[in-house]
């Protein structure tokens, strides 16, 4: 598993926006960096999402927190 990307978005099992199985549609780093993910990719749980002036973070109770800065989206 990619250590540099947050686990909640790196696994790609579930679509991080819709919560459906990702299937052939794997979210890439670019759209993930622009819009907060709402669903944890490895487990499908709905994450706590917080917007910030410089980006966002999202937290899964099992897989931890990921932020836009972690995905290289910081401008």
Which member of 5, 40, 58, 66 binds Zn ion (CB under 5 A)? 40
CA 70, 14, 25, 53 dihedral sign is negative
Closest CA to 6 of 38, 34, 43, 40: 40
Distances (CA, A) of 17 to 5, 75: 17, 22
Tell how far CA 74 is from the center of its chain.
15
> Which x/- pattern over 43-72 shows residues binding Zn ion (rule: CB under 5 A)?
x-x--------------x-xx---------
Contact window for Zn ion (CB under 5 A) among 16-24, 29-37, 42-50, 51-59:
42-50
Shortest distance, CB of residue 62 to Zn ion, whole angstroms? 4
Contact residues toward Zn ion (CB under 5 A) are 40, 43, 45, 60, 62-63
């Amino acid at each position: 598993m990619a250590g540099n990307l947050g686990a909640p978005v790196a696994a790609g099992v579930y679509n991080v926006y819709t919560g459906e199985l990702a299937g052939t549609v794997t979210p890439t780093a670019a759209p993930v960096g622009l819009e907060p993910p709402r669903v944890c990719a490895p487990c499908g749980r709905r994450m706590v999402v917080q917007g910030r002036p410089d980006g966002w973070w999202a937290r899964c109770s099992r897989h931890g927190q990921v932020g836009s800065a972690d995905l290289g989206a910081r401008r």
